[in-house]
Amino acid sequence: MKIVVVGGTGLIGSKLVTKLGEHGHEAVAAAPSTGVNTLTGEGLAEVLAGAQVVIDVSNSPSFERAAVLKFFETSTGNLLAAEAAAGVGHHVALSIVGSERMPDNGYFAAKIAQEKLIEKSGIPFSLVHSTQFFEFARGIADEATVDDKVHIAPVLFQPIAGDDVAQAVGRAAVGTPLNAMVEIAGPTQYMMDEFFRQALAAWGDPREVVTDPHARYFGSELSERSLVPGDGATLGTIRYHEWLGRNAIGK
């Protein structure tokens, strides 16, 4: 089947295009670099012609609260309208585990707004909520650094490899629309402060990890289960030490 991957040149999108192609699907990467712009509508009608499924793994270039909300509302609105005109039968979107628990986080609030548009569109859909990617661990540590110390809350943390995310999203895309949300997470649950203590040691990073119950995660104070899925989540198979051993980006 023809599957259009919006954000198809990014971290997860490029993995999806490759994996879906390997399984015999016509996977098309849609991004500004390929002539498709969901903010302006440029190229949408052309790329969606004949598509059965659209996967949206696009991301905002700015995480500022107003900018990220405008991005997801505009992009998703244009995309859904073009899908309806093209007769697309399944819309799949990647979102974040716990986004509904932290409405004070501007990025999470924008993702919730995106999901509401999808749910009201009338197009059959599947929403995949993922925990944090291994690939973003360094960025999380950097964001949490104050005076060269990494302040992390002692809460549960269950990160996942990008390859496992792509596999789960691809599986959802080729399946029957769920008209609901599913959660995915990594195979191992940690205390977040201890994960980063181990990760920084593995990176050879000299920064000290400080256990701080009030440490904020991109502006939000966390409770014990803010970042982990509920019962029934689909778990990946790649463990962090395995991923780290074969990914230079993590070293």
Reported pTM: 0.94
DSSP class per residue in 161-202: -HHHHHHHHHHHHHS---SSEEEEE-S--EEHHHHHHHHHHH
pLDDT per residue as tens digits for the range 195-233:
999 999 999 999 999 999 999 998 888 999 999 999 999
Average confidence (pLDDT) over 101-121 = 93
- pLDDT of 251 > 80? The answer is no
CATH number, domain with residue 67: 3.40.50.720
Give the CA distances from residue 8 to residues 48, 55, 81, 162, 194, in Å, rounded to whole numbers and listed in that order: 14, 9, 19, 14, 34
Number of domains in the chain: 1
Residue 39 confidence class, pLDDT cut points 50, 70, 90? very high
Domain range for residue 92? 2-250
- pLDDT of 247 > 90? The answer is no
What's the rounded Cα separation, in Å, for the pair 68 and 71? Answer: 5
Nearest CA to 123 out of 88, 93, 76, 95 is that of 88
